[in-house]
A and B are shown apart, each in its own frame.
Chain A
Amino acid sequence: MIQTGLIQSAHNDLVTDVAYDFYGLRLATCSIDQRIKVWQVDESNGNWNVEDDWKAHDATVSKLSWAHPEFGTILASASFDRTVKIWEQTSFASAADSQPNGAGAGSPQAASGGSSRWVERAVLVDARGTVRAVEFAPHHFGLKLATVSSDNHVRIYECLEQSSLATWQLSEEVDVSTLPSVSLSSSYSVAFATPTQTSATLEGASATLVAQALQQSQNPTTQGRPGLGNREADGGWCISWCKERYWGEIIAAGCGISGAIKIIQLSPSRRPTTLLTLDPSPSPVGLPAEAATSLASDGDTPTPFAITSVAWAPSCGRSYHLIATGGRDGHVRIWRVKPAEEELDVEGEGGDLKWSASVVADFDHHKSAVGRVEWNITGTVLSSAGNDGRVRLWKATIGNVWRPAGSIGVEQSEDTQDADVNMSENAIAE
């Protein structure tokens, strides 16, 4: 493991998200300073240079997502100002023809010498709370994106006019907290029913709802930093699309402090339904007993916690899906999710197609809240970042057991001689 580069100062305030483009040659960054910057790597020396820099929102920009390049150079930004904005990079000439909304305002583009500009194409204003995450759908589903916000809603937007990117239709709006859990969905969903493992969680779910309400009443919102917008203790946290085309549009969403992730199927002909709930409590499935210990379990009622990050691995030909979660309980979990198989000998079950899941890895190495989990492009390396100030990597062994595979920190090395890393500092001309 080696350090390969450094941007000394990327923004004027804490950076909230960094997103690589499809090829990893550019980087979009956003910050509490309400700006977005786009950087390009100089492949000859590995330095990152600012290409564009503009004020994007009226509050903290929380998350960025690049669209698949077959749709153009498009970026979506989510913000605590309750909006999601769609940006397109246009070549300099055509930017002169169209109105560079926002992008022009006071940004030092001329100074950075960029010949391209980002133009605001659309503003999605449906959220009634801070928007915490945005993610474009896999490209085979068209130009679509999902957002999740502190109002508990996952919203799916579809671009109606790809050439202008101006019209986005809100095609689905789902309250994740009230979306019937799998066991309830049978009333209108014939095709999908509760996997037996998770049906027991219903009791627990309603219990946590009460706990959630209690916690909210006990914790009056303290004075936040101006401009940050709402920083609710719960609400929707995270989303991740299923990358596979075969199963249709499916998204994993984490919401509230139930500690569970809902796997939601979206279909044009039917209301969104929960296929499966990934809930590590009260009885984790397929987990060795000693690994199942919760950080703060007190008797029978586990302390409610939020899953703040979820990542659906590219399946790359595997017969199952891998979904990683990271949460306030300090655990990184990897779920192995088995899609419903069409069984030939359908009897008694009424032909229900069942998705099932089991925890195949559960790590508490971070010993503190896990802020992000992410997979590599082949779904073989998981990275997790936690409040212990470490980024940890995880890989499967030949026996398919997940194991730590290194870590990265920002702590001063005890052995200072370690610092002879092959590193090129990146001077930034602001």
Chain B
Amino acid sequence: MNSTDHHLNLFPPLIQAGHTKQFIQSGKTLLSAQSPLNQSYAVFPSARNDVRSIKSSGVEEQPIFFASTETSPSSERRLFIGDTSIIFAALQNLTNTAQSRGQEWLHSQETHNVIRKLTLDYVNFTRECWIHTSQTSVQSQSSPQFSGDHYRSLYTCLALFAVLYVPEYGYEDAPVGDDLMEWLNVHFIEPSTEEGDHLSGLDRPWEDETFWPYLVRVTLRGLSKAATFFLATLSSHPSDNLRRLAQQLSPLLQSQPHLQSFEAERDFAYASHRWKDKVKALRIELDSVSESDRHDGIENWWDRLSDIVGILEGRSEVIRRVCEDLGADWREISVSWGVFADARLRRQDLPEVVSQILDDMPQDPTNLEDMVHAALFSGDPAKALSHAAQLDPWLAAHMADLMQALSLIERDANEDSGLNIRDFYVLGYAQYLHADPALWRITVAYMFSCGETGVRSADEVLMHVPLKLRFVGSITHGQGEQSNAENIKSGDLAGVVKDINATCYEYQREEVRRTICRIAAQTFVQEKEYGLALSYSSSAEDWTGLGRVVDRVLQEYITAGPEQFTRYVSGIAPSLQALRMQSGAQGVFIHRLMFAVRYAEFHQRLGNRDLQDAAWDLVSMFQDGLAPKSWWAVLLCDSQQLLQHDAALLFPYASACILLQRLEEVIARTDQGSGDEYLRVLISKFGSGGTTEALHALQCVRLALAKYFSRCTMIGTGGKQILERKFIAAV
């Protein structure tokens, strides 16, 4: 399943088999682009950059192919990935605690028991998944992504790992034979039940050619019940000797001591010794059978019975020969060794025994499961991981994680890569997960457990998670996402953004969170959701960005007019309150936001014919220094209709003076060549040919002001202010 050294030819082919040269000579080459979304590539024929002329490709099609190094996980696989990630998280918790509590604690009984439990959880999950996949693939015709057999191989590897490396606390140094035999019998069932059924249906089973091999095999596997059952059928065998010997053999098989039944290993060793003596006695009796009675006309039963006794005696040459005859592999020899040849075989002695066996009967290099088993038997966890990674990156990652917790592998980082063994495989698995963008939460969880490199890789993945904020013009999305988008737009922090935010908080990735908020703000600006854009900008503490949002809102006044503008501002006004409360918020941008809000209020009053207040607003925007210089001209033009209002004088004399002051400044500075600074907004409001129009408009304002002042004088409203003004000027 892994991608190493695989070659994929895309369809439809562009090059006939063996004709690559022609393709290149026609001036073409192949280029590619990597997708940041998953482990996929866009591949396309292109023009060679070292050829001066390209033969016109004319009517040819210009395809773009898409290929992925990994198959996106199917639902059953996703379930498996999700469920096992919970166990991974539990172990992660444990090792994190160990960091604070010290390494001794990691090696305590309490911790060991937890690690053992988690290991067995993995074993059970792979088992469940194997059963489930095997069943569903039988029921439905569509084959699942990974066959039941694939999960079976994960199951056997993990179970073996558990037996060899995660024994019960205190049993590390106990004989391992019985445990291994149980493992072998669970995972590699021999002889088959069908054979047994077939034989038990026969009157004289020993006449069947499968009888003796069957009996030898069940003995080898320690299946004493099946063995005694068929030994009992020999009670009707014509040979007296065989009948007698079979009768004696049965109790021996049943009484073979097993470690589990003893309190202390010493007792077990003693019992084994005594049992071996009984086997020896049987051998003597067997040898006394005369040559003439050793054959029943069908088979030399004596040889077969001798093999069985030979196994019980633990004769290595017999075990090897029998296994070879039965077609059993190195595993069966190794395991039976630990049961019969050396019942006290310990875990640490196993590699030596296994290496001798593998010399004669090597593992199958094309079978990765076999290779993992062999490495585990040989006491080489690191090698087991490298094979496991090829079998399934899942297996390598989780086994490596356990191995590090159990101090089975080097904890120090490789000097060149900066990664230790565990992190290498866990990151490899995370990369595999990245093939499915929907699994980003799990992907980053694994990455975050892998030191600085892991953390920074997770940052990259987090930042590239599609936010799904934009729905205008996008192609059909699921119902769920649609309502999700509604939630986001109604102001709730929901969906993916909320999840990413939470993840960033959890792992303290503030930089990433801010970047994502900035992106969200930008997206909302494009969607004209200015209120949301503002809250994301402030969440990112991106004050320049906040300023740009306000600029965009102000821009709306120029492009869409006052009504639209007022509507948009009503969306951002609530943020102003919140921002004022925030101490970190930077003044200048808040200032601009305040201006936008006040300016919108002004237009609202204007729209409602609330002219007196509108006039007051206008002047106070100047007075409070809220209006940016580039907006002065616009404000002055707005004042024109208020100045020309016939029913009443809307501006007090002093206010009118302020207007005049500002007008003079704009005109004077424009004459001095700073027109761009002062007239920019007004010009863009007028569109093409803006400069002349803008200057003309300002002249109109000046005229209106002049008229207004003359009205003031006639009506005499200005007297008091004039006095005041003179007074101020004198001071």
Contacts and interface: CB of A to CB of B under 8 A. Distances in A.
Interface of A: 1-20, 22-25, 27, 29, 31-32, 40, 42-44, 46, 48-49, 51, 60, 68-73, 89-94, 97-98, 114-116, 132, 139, 162-163, 221-225, 228, 231, 233, 237, 306, 308, 314-319, 328, 360, 368-369, 371-372, 374-378, 380-381, 383, 385-391, 393, 396, 398-400, 403-414, 418-419, 421-423
Closest 3 CB pairs of A and B: A24-B37, A317-B456, A5-B66
Interface in B424-466: 424-425, 427, 431, 437, 451-457, 459-461, 464-466
Contacts of A7: 63-64
B582 interface: no
6 contacts: A1-B6, A4-B67, A24-B38, A24-B466, A91-B526, A378-B460
Given A1-B68, A388-B20, A15 B8 contact: no
A407 B8 contact: yes
B57 A14 contact: yes
B461 A23 contact: no
B10 interface: yes
B233 interface: no
Nearest to B44: A15
Contacts of A409: 7-10, 15, 30
A408 B32 contact: yes
A386 B35 CA distance: 19
B551 interface: yes
Contacts of B68: 1-2, 4
Interface stretch (B132-140, B151-159, B164-172, B517-525): B517-525
A18 B61 contact: no
Contacts of B404: none
A317 B457 CA distance: 8
A380 B515 contact: no
A1 B451 CA distance: 29
A3 B11 contact: yes
Contacts of B62: 9-15, 31
Contacts of A398: 386, 414, 417, 419, 421, 424-425
A222 B43 CA distance: 30
Interface string B53-87: 11011000111111111010000000000000000
Contacts of A51: 473
A408 B43 contact: yes
B202 interface: no
B689 to A, nearest CB: 15
B418 interface: yes
A408 B10 contact: yes
A19 B16 CA distance: 28
Contacts of A19: 33
Interface stretch (B21-29, B99-107, B190-198, B266-274): B21-29
A390 B7 CA distance: 9
B456 A20 contact: no
Contacts of B11: 3, 6, 419, 421, 423
Q: Which has the most chain B C-beta neighbours within 10 Å: A19, A43, A44?
A: A43
Contact of A400 (B5, B34, B417): B417
Contact of B37 (A13, A23, A374, A389): A23
Given A31-B62, A318-B417, A377-B461, 4 more contacts: A139-B515, A224-B53, A371-B46, A407-B6
Contact of A3 (B66, B451, B526): B66
B67 A2 contact: yes
A393 B559 contact: no
Contacts of B464: 22-24, 377
B475 interface: yes
B41 interface: yes
Interface string B38-56: 1111111111111111101
Contacts of A388: 20, 24
A314 B14 contact: no
A65 B576 CA distance: 36
B61 A9 contact: yes
Given A16-B46, A410-B65, A383 B41 contact: yes
Contacts of B238: none
A418 B46 contact: no
A14 B28 contact: yes
B352 interface: no
Nearest to A418: B9
B30 A386 contact: yes
A415 B576 CA distance: 67
B9 A69 contact: no
A308 B29 CA distance: 14
B51 to A, nearest CB: 8
Contacts of B17: 411-414
A369 B50 contact: yes
B315 interface: no
B66 A18 contact: no
B150 interface: no
Given A162-B548, A407-B7, A8 B43 contact: no
B367 interface: no
Nearest to A90: B526
Contacts of A97: 559-560
A70 B29 contact: no
Contacts of A231: 49, 51-52
B526 to A, nearest CB: 6
A49 B475 contact: yes
A15 to B, nearest CB: 5
A374 B13 CA distance: 24
A231 B54 CA distance: 11
Contacts of B522: 69-72
A410 B5 contact: no
B89 interface: no
Interface in B378-429: 386, 414, 416-419, 421, 424-425, 427
A413 B30 contact: no
